[in-house]
Structure 1
Amino acid sequence: MIRLPDATGTVRDYTPRTAPALPAAGEGPLTSRIVFSAAHVVADPFADTTPDGPAAVDWDATLAFRRHLWSHGLGVAEAMDTAQRGMGLDWAGAAELIRRSGAEAKAVGGRIACGVGTDQLGAGPFTLDQVRTAYEEQLAVVEETGAQAILMASRALAASATGPDDYLKIYGELLRQAAEPVVLHWLGPMFDPALTGYWGSEDLDAATDTFLEIIADHPDKVDGVKVSLLDAGREVALRRRLPQGVRCYTGDDFHYPELIAGDEQGFSHALLGIFDPLGPVAAQAVRTLDTGDTAGFRALLDPTVELSRHLFQTPTRYYKTGVVFLAWLSGHQEHFTMVGGLQSARSLPHFARAYELADGLGLFPDPALAQARMKSLLAVYGVEQP
């Protein structure tokens, strides 16, 4: 028994499950979909840091979590916003993460793609040439590791661009020099308000046209697009307009089961932050889909959506806190500390509900450990337990 507070301030009793419901790691690659989990970083809890100082990362625990994801057949999307890019992890830390994870991927045969951005620039304003140069620097680091590149949306470009032509110019130059096909990343303002008006317009229809024009101009250099707009209908419409051979990787943490399952005209692959805590379940679901069992796939993944929507609730950009919280409860790390002090970004009722939903799904490998850790957090807040 554990006593949990809710959003009204009421403390009530909850009886946790006693056994997990997690599948064992499957054998062989996933075949019907390409699935990336955007992975979090584990902070060094003993480092003497400040919220605005350089990140201190526990490299052993961080790489161990990536091996956990690879063991289930998932790819790792590295140094993305789930890893707190621009929210505690600076470019120096991200570059080290990319190099270490790239080497680890080679050692274990894991699939990896890494985020390329412009976050070394800091505060602006900047010229378009400075933005392009920053992208080029990061692209070179990723390509040196042998990882696939994900061209992330850039705060600096959003602030510096005067219209669609500037996006066409910068992305065109980057795609022409990319050694291998890249993934283009469209991250909506709900994940980062500084990206409002990306692709040159706040009108999403106009922005989509510019996005598609970039792809149409360089189809041989675009492996796929990662769409994080939390709008399933818009993603499906975009997916149907992509050139043949260009994949759609859903980044929609609200509607991922239906988008991955697809329809008679196609489907989305996946690059999702929610697949950090859901890694084993996501892998089992896709293995079920590999057999042609769409209903079985949905039966496994649909029940997880309530948890995902909870973690990604407004303000959505703080979903990383819930992801790391669940990693701690699951035993993937020994503490609940985040780079930049972001463990303070969600409320105690939010954590309590996340625990309850994850426990209900059977996500914790050791439910007793998760309960003990949850009680320790509640004690810090003064919630007495029976």
Structure 2
Amino acid sequence: MSDFIYLPQQDGSTYKYELSQTEALSKPSQKTFDSRVAYSAAHVVANPFGTTDPVRQPVIDWEQTMQYRHYLWSLGLSVAEAMDTAQRGMGLQWQHAKELITRSVKEAKSVNGNIASGAGTDHLEPDPSVTLEDVVNAYEEQVAHVEGAGSKVILMASRALASCAKSPEDYEYVYGKILDQVSQPITLHWLGDMFDPNLAGYWGYDDLDEAMDVCLRIIHTHANKIEGIKISLLDDQKEIKMRRRLPESVRMYTGDDFNYPSLIEGDEQGYSHALLGIFDAIAPAAASALHDLDEGKIGTFRETLDRTVPLARHIFQKPTYAYKTGVVFLAYLNGHQSHFRMIAGTESARSILHLTELFELADQAHVLTNPERAIERMKPILQLAGIEQTEAVK
């Protein structure tokens, strides 16, 4: 087995990198977690032969996309469907998301897998003429589809609402209208502007503490209709502060792809459950760590997850919204898809040097499911950038 590869540096020279992880990973044997609910926001696999225009007419490879969801369920993870990890609003439009949700719910039922799906307003283009009632109607349409498919709802942040809301009260009005109608408790999603610049000033304020007050008012007013809230602000102290102010019946789901180990572990006043894009990339390590947490092995839990944090911080580095490229690249390295192509052509969103460092960090995080295969899949990517597998060039 080859346990080394020649990798490039910024000056064009190469160096010999020897893998620290040389054996294939074994899958965790248990299939459920007792101490935390853990959602992986799952990516979609593009069909590279389905269209001549992947930007304007993306086509999904349904077989490989569904296979990956079955893989996540087999590890005990839940699936958060049609979220931003699936390139929602960045290549994956509502017409594609509808079919994705319908197909995934059917597959989830076949294996008793847990699933929740994103409902937003992305079929409503932000425009000066858009009104609050337009936003309400758009949310109603998507919530009806998710509930009709048999999935729990994750109520995604709305670009259209962010563009037309004039006050915090406008957010309270729109969310109140939707929460009054849902058939079962839902999960809210507060997505920071580092993930989507169009969501700046969400809840009516740029200041996060003031915005948090508005969000908490909505949650306390409608606590019987809210199962949890996922916040993706990449600020662990804001999450902890908000977690301590939630009603007892409402869960905090961390969406912090930088600080998830400590937030999931928690403190003397509580902990966060997980709804994370990084769990797509580190699924085996996440599942293994959560089983250790169930067994009270806190040190092993932290050791396993802490080892993945440098990889996560690299994948989610600025511009943060380009993290999908790293997630899909790791799925390619790990054999979950046969190619490194993405809908909307976003495989080009990260440089070859970024992908090179990702490869190293994935090795050091012990999340390459088969290191030998990962090396063989890395080589053609390097070759496209002119990097040949010869003795290192100084």
TM-score by length of 2: 0.96
User: In the alignment, does 2:77 pair up with 1:38?
Assistant: no
Partner of 2:358: 354
User: In the alignment, does 2:278 pair up with 1:308?
Assistant: no
Give 1:216's match in structure 2, choosing from 217, 220, 223: 220
CA shift, 1:3, in A, is 1.5
Give 2:6's match in structure 1, choosing from 3, 13, 35: 3
CA distances 1:123-169 after superposition (whole Å, capped 9, x unpaired): 42311111111111100111012111000001111001011011000
CA shift, 1:50, in A, is 2.2
CA shift, 1:293, in A, is 1.9
Structure 1 pair 362/296, CA: closer, same or farther in 2 (3 Å)? closer
Residue type at the aligned position of 1:356 = E
Partner of 2:19: 16
Partner of 1:376: 380
Partner of 1:160: 164
Q: Contact 2:51/2:57 (CA < 8 Å) preserved in 1?
A: no
CA RMSD of aligned residues (A): 1.2
Alpha-carbon separation, structure 1, partners of 2:52 and 2:173: 40
Residue type at the aligned position of 1:61 = Q
SS at match of 1:296: helix
CA distances 1:279-302 after superposition (whole Å, capped 9, x unpaired): 111011011101122122101110
Alpha-carbon separation, structure 2, partners of 1:9 and 1:163: 52
Partner of 1:280: 284
SS at match of 1:191: coil
CA distances 1:333-386 after superposition (whole Å, capped 9, x unpaired): 000000000000000000000011112233222212111111100001101212
Partner of 2:256: 252
CA distances 1:11-64 after superposition (whole Å, capped 9, x unpaired): 221113563363423224101000000000000011224254132000000000
Unaligned ranges ≥5, structure 2 = none
User: In the alignment, does 2:144 pair up with 1:140?
Assistant: yes
CA shift, 1:7, in A, is 4.3
Residue type at the aligned position of 1:241 = R
Partner of 2:69: 66
Q: Percent identity?
A: 54
Q: Contact 1:23/1:284 (CA < 8 Å) preserved in 2?
A: no
Give 2:98's match in structure 1, choosing from 90, 95, 98: 95
Structure 1 pair 71/377, CA: closer, same or farther in 2 (3 Å)? same
User: In the alignment, does 2:313 pair up with 1:323?
Assistant: no
Partner of 2:271: 267
Alpha-carbon separation, structure 2, partners of 1:9 and 1:230: 34
SS at match of 2:177: helix
Alpha-carbon separation, structure 1, partners of 2:184 and 2:119: 14
Alignment of 1:132-211 (within 5 A): 132-211=136-215
Alpha-carbon separation, structure 2, partners of 1:198 and 1:10: 46
Q: Contact 1:250/1:270 (CA < 8 Å) preserved in 2?
A: yes
SS at match of 1:177: coil
User: In the alignment, does 2:78 pair up with 1:75?
Assistant: yes
Q: Contact 1:322/1:354 (CA < 8 Å) preserved in 2?
A: yes
SS at match of 1:77: strand
User: In the alignment, does 2:297 pair up with 1:293?
Assistant: yes
Residue type at the aligned position of 1:274 = I
Partner of 2:233: 229
TM-score by length of 1: 0.98
Residue type at the aligned position of 1:80 = M
Unaligned ranges ≥5, structure 1 = none
Alpha-carbon separation, structure 2, partners of 1:306 and 1:296: 17
SS at match of 1:36: strand
